[in-house]
Chain A
Amino acid sequence: MYATSYHRASSVEDAVKLKSAHDEGKYLSGGMTLISTMKQRLAAPSDLIDLRHIPSLRGVRIEGRKVTIGAATPHADVAASRELAAICPALCQLAGHIGDPHVRHMGTIGGSIANNDPAADYPAGVLGLGATVVTDRRSISADDFFTGLFETALAEGEMVTAVTFEAPEKAGYAKFNNPASRFAMTGVFVAKTAGGVRVAVTGAGSSGVFRHSGFEQALAGNWSADALSNITVDSSGLMSDLHANAEYRANLVKVMARRAVASAG
């Protein structure tokens, strides 16, 4: 790892100030991607601004059916939230299957979506729920937030502070794990929300997470796994790599979507 300077932020304002003072710095949340990337010398931020000790960024808050998850809430806390499980168990299940137990104790929802790894789980959940990403300066709808491979709508120095959404009527998530890394070789999040049916796919698209409108229309008419039986998933635009080619992933998208609907009930 190249040399770096560590700063521990005490508040959101403090973090943003520290970031603006260090052009080549990066926000550090759980660090489960960033520290590994730095060890491989694929990233070399001059400064790290640690967000883990900002109390306002941690925790799951629920008012009625409105859910707010602080950006620095670890996956383990989302997975274990009984209040959240009562109204949106699919997101608890998603969080409980990221990486391994040790990674879930450190990794955070804000870090995951800000990084927008094309095989990460949370982008599918956040896009599938039609959530809103709250930052230090504005609110961004999930549809506008994820813009490409490791790319988001975040401006330079902008920081995710929370994710909010209305609990859906029904939701489910199914993923086919990469057996070594536990990243999604394909993961599909389905949700029946007040704004309609949403289907978000991660791990498969060559531009990152995406919505599948064909599945959404079919499920809007008939919420059942069988509604997807006759839809063929187009493999163009899907990733091919040593783990699976695009055609294989196209099949996985359908299989995972059917499982996700079945699990949503």
Chain B
Amino acid sequence: MTKVTLTVNGRAMSGECEDRTLLVNFIREKLGLTGTHVGCDTTQCGACVVHMDGRSVKSCSILAVQASGSTITTIEGLAGQGELHPVQAAFKEHHGLQCGFCTPGMVMTAVDMINREGGSLTEEKVRAGLEGNICRCTGYHNIVKAILAADAEMAGGRQAAE
């Protein structure tokens, strides 16, 4: 067993696991954060997307030991005190989910997209940015709408703050 230490959603956390333990299983089973989902388990569907050192990654395809020492943000870390993150609020407002299984990965992917290209997203860029995330319910239209709306709102917030 190896000790894995992570900063998860701003808190230092650690746990013991086998070297072959996947990051997603460590997060769900050792840390008890079950918002991150396992969908396909083959690096295709993106339900397991978390941020590692500020970048979106598929946690089903990374070993927990590989991630040790890094800073992780999961879906549980997005909302502020009792208030949804603007991307979460936009998914709610624009009905960007049906069954909700893919939603944690979609939201984490959207936040990563806005972090990288905030204010300049287009429908085409959003659809390309969702290449690694599969939704079997929505047909993507409302997910794309939600991400564009959140981007516009967050860009407005940034401008107001300047």
Contacts and interface: CB of A to CB of B under 8 A. Distances in A.
Contact of A6 (B22, B55, B63): B63
Interface string B87-117: 0000000000000000000000100110000
B132 A102 contact: yes
Given A28-B66, A32-B43, A52-B66, A4 B20 contact: yes
B118 interface: no
A182 interface: yes
B19 A102 contact: no
Contact of B63 (A31, A76, A180): A31
Given A100-B131, A102-B46, A6 B65 contact: yes
A52 to B, nearest CB: 7
A28 B61 CA distance: 12
24 contacts: A3-B18, A3-B19, A4-B19, A5-B19, A6-B63, A6-B66, A31-B66, A32-B61, A35-B62, A36-B43, A39-B22, A39-B42, A48-B63, A99-B132, A100-B131, A101-B109, A101-B112, A102-B56, A102-B132, A103-B58, A105-B55, A106-B61, A180-B44, A182-B131
Interface string A219-260: 000000000000000000000000000000000000000000
B57 A106 contact: yes
A50 interface: yes
B115 to A, nearest CB: 11
Given A5-B19, A6-B65, A76 B55 contact: yes
Contacts of A180: 44
A35 B131 contact: no
Interface residues of B, number: 28
Contacts of B129: 101
Interface residues of A, number: 28
Given A39-B41, A182-B131, A102 B65 contact: no
Nearest to A76: B55
A106 B56 CA distance: 9
Given A31-B66, A76-B55, A106-B61, 4 more contacts: A5-B19, A6-B2, A100-B133, A102-B132
Contacts of A50: 66
A242 B32 CA distance: 41
Nearest to B65: A6
Interface of A: 1-6, 8, 28, 31-32, 35-36, 38-39, 48, 50, 52, 76, 99-103, 105-106, 180-182
Contacts of A105: 52, 55-57
A52 B55 CA distance: 15
Interface string B29-44: 0000000000001111
B3 to A, nearest CB: 12
B27 interface: no
A36 B61 contact: yes
Given A6-B65, A31-B66, A76-B55, A101 B20 contact: no
A103 B20 CA distance: 19
B61 A101 contact: no
Q: Which 3 residue pairs spanning A and B have beta carbons closest together?
A: A100-B132, A6-B19, A100-B131
Contacts of A182: 131
Q: Most chain-B Cβ atoms within 10 A of its Cβ — which of A2, A6, A102?
A: A102
A166 to B, nearest CB: 30
Contacts of A32: 43, 61
Nearest to B68: A8
